[in-house]
Chain A
Amino acid sequence: MFKRIMSLFGEQVTTDPFVYSDSSYLVYQLPDGLRFGLKAVSLSNREIELLGLLADRVVLTTSPRIAAWKSKLDHESCIEENGHRMTHLNFTGLDFTSTDDVSDVLASFFPDESVVVPMSDSRFTVIEQDIAHLIPFEDIEEMISALKTDFYMEAKVLVGQAVHRGDIAKRYRLEQHALDCLRDGETTSHLTAYTRLAVQSDTARDELTSLYLSSLDEEAKRMLHVFFRANLNASLTAKQLFLHRNSLQYRLDRLIEQTGIDVRTFEGAAFLHLLLSA
C-alpha cells in the first residue's frame, strides 16, 4: 500500500516524524502501523477523502498533557492510579477541517480537568478524572445531538465505565473495540456496547469474562444464576438460597462494588447473564 502511495505522491510523502510533525503535513497511519506524512497543499479535497479510506488520519498533538495521555493509551498495559472514565467518539462525515472545532466543543463541554485526546481526524477519547462529578449520560447525548447538527455528521459514542484504579490502556482497547460494534447515530453506555461485542466475538467475550467474573467466587456466581432465574426478584432469590433478604442485598451490593456493574438493572443483568451463560 505504501509503495502505491509513494508512486502516486512521490516527493510529497515522508516517513520522517521530524518532517511530518510540521503543521503543513497531514499524517496518516496504515493498517500495518506505518506512519507517513503528506504535504497538505499538494492534495485536493477528493484526494484527502480517498486517502482517509486507505489509512487513518493521525492528529499529532502538540500539548504535552495530551501527548502523555495518548502515550498511556498506546501502551500494551498501563495502570492508572487515579479514578477515570473514558468517553469514546467516532464521527462519520466530519470534514477534516472541522476537527479542531469539534475538539474545542468537547473541551468546553467536559470539566476543566478532563482531557480530550484526538486519536485521528474522526476519533476522540475524552478522559474525565473527577469521577465524583461525572457528566450525566443524558447531557452527553444532548451535546452529541447538537454537535451532529452543527457539523452535519453522524456519531457513535460509547460512555465508558468509571473506575477508581485500573489498566487504562487495556480498557481503552476493549472500549474502542466495543465502539466499533455500534451503529452510526448510537450513544450508549459501555454495558450495551460490551453486550453487543460479547455476542459478536468469542475472544472479546472471554476477555470480558476474565475482566468481570474472575474475581467472583463460586458462591457469588451461583447467587447470580438464581437471581437471573428468579427474574431479578430479590425476595424469591433469597428464599431459594435460604438467605435473609438483607443478606442477599448485602451480597448483591458487594458484587456491584467488585464488578462495577449494577446487576439489578436490565442492562447490567443482560450483560452478566451473557457472560455467565457462555
Chain B
Amino acid sequence: MADIRLEHIDKVYSGTAKAVDDFNLHIKDKEFIVFVGPSGCGKSTTLRMIAGLEEISSGDFVIDGKRMNDVAPKDRDIAMVFQNYALYPHMNVFDNMAFGLKLRKFPKEEIKQRVDNAARILGLEEYLERKPKALSGGQRQRVAIGRAIVRDAKVFLMDEPLSNLDAKLRVQMRKEIIQLHKRLETTTIYVTHDQTEAMTLATRIVIMKAGLIQQVGTPKEVYDHPDNMFVAGFIGSPSMNFVNGRLEEDGFFHVLSSEEKFEIPEGKMKVLRERGYTGKDLVLGIRPEDIHAELIYQDTKTAHRFNSHIEVSELMGAESYLYSKIGDQAFTARVDSRSHVEMGSSIDLFFDMTKAHFFDAATEATIR
C-alpha cells in the first residue's frame, strides 16, 4: 500500500533556474506512473527527490499520510533500479539479490525464500550461481530488478532501466516489466525519455518540460487529447504534424504562405468561433495516421483532399511514411503499405479533419 503525494515540489540548484517547478501529483496505490520528457526536463531530479538522493528545496513529499522530506533514503521503504544495472561484479546472482536483505539483517531462511521467489518470477533460477560477467545484458538488468523486488518495498523507482539494452531486448523487457507490475502490484514510478516506453507501460503518464508538468493523464488521454503543442508533438511517433495558418471569416483554415485552405468540421468550428479565434493565427495539428491515401476517403465530407508531391517515402513493412509539404510546411503521412508510392511522385492525400487539433499560435495551448 503506497499512496504518494507530491505537493508544490520545487528543486533549485544554487544560482540556477528551477530544475523542478511547482510539481503537484497524487499517485494512487498500485499505479504505474511514467515521467517522460526530453533531457533536462527534471524527470530524473524528481525521481531522485522521491528516493531521497536529492534534497527537496520546497514543498511536501508524503507517503501514506507521512511527510517524507526529512526521512533518510534507506528508511523510505523505496527500492530503486538504475540504468546501469548496478551489480556487484564479485558476487553471484544470489548474493547480489540477497545483499540488500543481509544489510537489513533478515534471517537466512527468509532471504533464501525471497531470492528464490524473485528468481522464479524473473526466470533467473538457473543463473543464481553465475557472476554478472557471465550474464547477458537482459539477464543482468533482470538481476538488478530482482534486487529491488526482494526488498518488497512500498514503491519501485526505475530510472531509465532499459536504455542500456538493444532495441529487441528493450521490447522484451518492456513486456516483462508490465507482467511484473501486474503480478506484484507495487506502486511504480518510471523515468524515461522514450515516449513508446511511456505509452506501453504507464497507467498514467506525466509529461514534463523545463521543470514543469505539461500534462498528466492515461496514455490514451494524452495521445488523443493533448493539452498543448509540446505534448502533442512529444507523444506519438512519427510526431504530430503542425500547420500554421489563420482562421478567416469564410470559415476556412488558410494555410500560411500557401493557397491551400481547409474546411473545418462544424463542431470544431463552433468551438473556435466561441473562443474568438476568427481572424486569428492558429496551428492545425494532425497525426500522421489521420492522413490517408485510400481513395475511399474522397467520398467523406470531412476529409480534406490535398494533392501532395512526395519528397521522401519510407516503406516500413506494414505501413509507409510519406513526407511532403503544404506550401513550405513539412508533414508526414502514415499510410498502409499498399498505398506506398515512390519518391518524386504525386498522390492525393486526405486529411481527416474530424481528428484535427487546433492550438493557439501564441500560447501553444489546445483550443477546447
Say yes or no: A152 contacts B88, CB within 8 Å.
no
What sequence of 0s and 1s flags, for each residue 68-94 of chain B, a beta carbon within 8 Å of any chain A beta carbon? 000011100000101011111111000
Say yes or no: A105 contacts B74, CB within 8 Å.
no
Say yes or no: A151 contacts B89, CB within 8 Å.
no
Q: How far is the CB of A44 from chain B (nearest CB, A)?
A: 13
From 8 to 49 in chain A, residues with beta carbon under 8 angstroms from any chain B beta carbon are none
Q: Name the one of A93, A109, A142, A150 contacting B103, with C-beta atoms under 8 angstroms.
A: A150
B interface residues, how many (CB within 8 angstroms): 22
| B38 CB contacts on chain A under 8 angstroms | none
Is B219's CB within 8 Å of the partner chain A?
Answer: no
Residue of B nearest to A154 (CB): B53
| B100 CB contacts on chain A under 8 angstroms | 150
Known: A149-B82, A151-B74. A143 touches B90 (CB 8 A): yes
Is A148's CB within 8 Å of the partner chain B?
Answer: yes
Is B211's CB within 8 Å of the partner chain A?
Answer: no
The number of residue pairs between A and B whose CB atoms lie closer than 8 Å in the complex comes to: 49
Tell me the complex Cα distance, A153–B120, Å.
Answer: 30
A interface residues, how many (CB within 8 angstroms): 19
| A152 CB contacts on chain B under 8 angstroms | 51-53, 72-74
Q: How far is the CB of B333 from chain A (nearest CB, A)?
A: 45
Is A202's CB within 8 Å of the partner chain B?
Answer: no
Tell me the complex Cα distance, A151–B99, Å.
Answer: 11
Q: How far is the CB of A156 from chain B (nearest CB, A)?
A: 15
Say yes or no: B103 contacts A101, CB within 8 Å.
yes
Among B73, B89, B147, chain A packs the most CB atoms within 10 A around the CB of B89
Tell me the complex Cα distance, A255–B99, Å.
Answer: 45
Secondary structure at the A interface, as helix, strand, loop or mixed, is helix
| A146 CB contacts on chain B under 8 angstroms | 86-88, 96
Say yes or no: A145 contacts B82, CB within 8 Å.
yes
Tell me the complex Cα distance, A147–B52, Å.
Answer: 16
Residue of B nearest to A46 (CB): B70
Is A95's CB within 8 Å of the partner chain B?
Answer: yes
Secondary structure at the B interface, as helix, strand, loop or mixed, is loop
Q: How far is the CB of A152 from chain B (nearest CB, A)?
A: 3
Tell me the complex Cα distance, A109–B84, Å.
Answer: 19
| B103 CB contacts on chain A under 8 angstroms | 98, 101, 150
Say yes or no: A109 contacts B73, CB within 8 Å.
no
Say yes or no: B86 contacts A95, CB within 8 Å.
no
Is A231's CB within 8 Å of the partner chain B?
Answer: no
| B84 CB contacts on chain A under 8 angstroms | 145
Say yes or no: A95 contacts B74, CB within 8 Å.
yes
Q: How far is the CB of A149 from chain B (nearest CB, A)?
A: 4
From 102 to 154 in chain B, residues with beta carbon under 8 angstroms from any chain A beta carbon are 103, 132, 147
Q: How far is the CB of B17 from chain A (nearest CB, A)?
A: 20
Tell me the complex Cα distance, A145–B147, Å.
Answer: 13
Residue of B nearest to A144 (CB): B86
Say yes or no: A150 contacts B99, CB within 8 Å.
yes
From 152 to 176 in chain A, residues with beta carbon under 8 angstroms from any chain B beta carbon are 152, 154
Is A219's CB within 8 Å of the partner chain B?
Answer: no
Q: How far is the CB of A87 from chain B (nearest CB, A)?
A: 14
Known: A101-B103, A149-B82. A95 touches B88 (CB 8 A): no
Say yes or no: A143 contacts B72, CB within 8 Å.
no
Q: Name the one of A101, A109, A149, A154 contacting B86, with C-beta atoms under 8 angstroms.
A: A149
Is A76's CB within 8 Å of the partner chain B?
Answer: no
Say yes or no: A105 contacts B88, CB within 8 Å.
yes
Residue of B nearest to A145 (CB): B86
Tell me the complex Cα distance, A139–B72, Å.
Answer: 28
Tell me the complex Cα distance, A143–B99, Å.
Answer: 13
Tell me the complex Cα distance, A139–B88, Å.
Answer: 8
Tell me the complex Cα distance, A202–B87, Å.
Answer: 40
From 39 to 87 in chain B, residues with beta carbon under 8 angstroms from any chain A beta carbon are 51-53, 72-74, 80, 82, 84-87
Q: How far is the CB of A182 from chain B (nearest CB, A)?
A: 18
Tell me the complex Cα distance, A108–B51, Å.
Answer: 27
Tell me the complex Cα distance, A142–B74, Å.
Answer: 21
Tell me the complex Cα distance, A101–B82, Å.
Answer: 21
Residue of A nearest to B148 (CB): A149
What sequence of 0s and 1s flags, for each residue 175-213 of chain B, a beta carbon within 8 Å of any chain A beta carbon? 000000000000000000000000000000000000000
Tell me the complex Cα distance, A151–B103, Å.
Answer: 10
Residue of A nearest to B72 (CB): A95
Q: How far is the CB of B276 from chain A (nearest CB, A)?
A: 52
Q: How far is the CB of B95 from chain A (nearest CB, A)?
A: 9
| B96 CB contacts on chain A under 8 angstroms | 146
| A142 CB contacts on chain B under 8 angstroms | 85-89, 132
| B72 CB contacts on chain A under 8 angstroms | 95, 152
| B51 CB contacts on chain A under 8 angstroms | 152
Residues of B within 8 A of A (CB): 51-53, 72-74, 80, 82, 84-91, 96, 99-100, 103, 132, 147
Residues of A within 8 A of B (CB): 93, 95, 98, 101, 105, 108-109, 139, 142-143, 145-152, 154
Could you list some 14 contacts between A and B, CB below 8 A?
A: A98-B74, A101-B103, A109-B89, A139-B89, A142-B86, A142-B87, A142-B89, A143-B90, A145-B82, A148-B86, A149-B82, A151-B74, A152-B72, A152-B73
New A-B contacts (8) at CB < 8 Å, excluding given A101-B103, A139-B89, A152-B72: A108-B90, A143-B89, A146-B86, A149-B80, A150-B103, A152-B51, A152-B52, A154-B53
